[in-house]
Amino acid sequence: MLIAESTDEPSLSRDDVFTIQTTLNELGFDAGKPDGFSGPKTRNATRDYQRANNLAVDGYVGYQLLQRLKKNKMNIKTYLGLMWVQNAQGCDC
């Protein structure tokens, strides 16, 4: 008899997994085409993300991963296509 491991994490919706896949892709970890299902590409991308961020590498696509990715995504700076030069006095915009 197999017994599933119990976690205290809330279960993820398909939208949550879609968000994880999209964010992993945006951060440069190939989770494949986002579809809301945690398949092999998503788990591999999760392991790559965990390894790159010095986390325990288990490939588990769960609530803690979702929260961490959301936090990382808020820290992403979006390039607006504007050029600038910064000198010792500050930005020459």
pLDDT at position 53 over 60: yes
The reported pLDDT for the residue numbered 38 is 96
And the tokens for 82? 């504007």
CA distances from 19 to 35, 41, 46, 71 (A): 9, 14, 13, 12
Listed by start position, the domains of the chain span: 14-74
Class of domain 14-74: mainly alpha
Per-residue pLDDT averaged across 59-79, rounded?
85
The reported pLDDT for the residue numbered 3 is 45
pLDDT digits (tens, 9 = 90+) for 12-50: 999 999 999 999 999 999 999 999 999 999 999 999 999
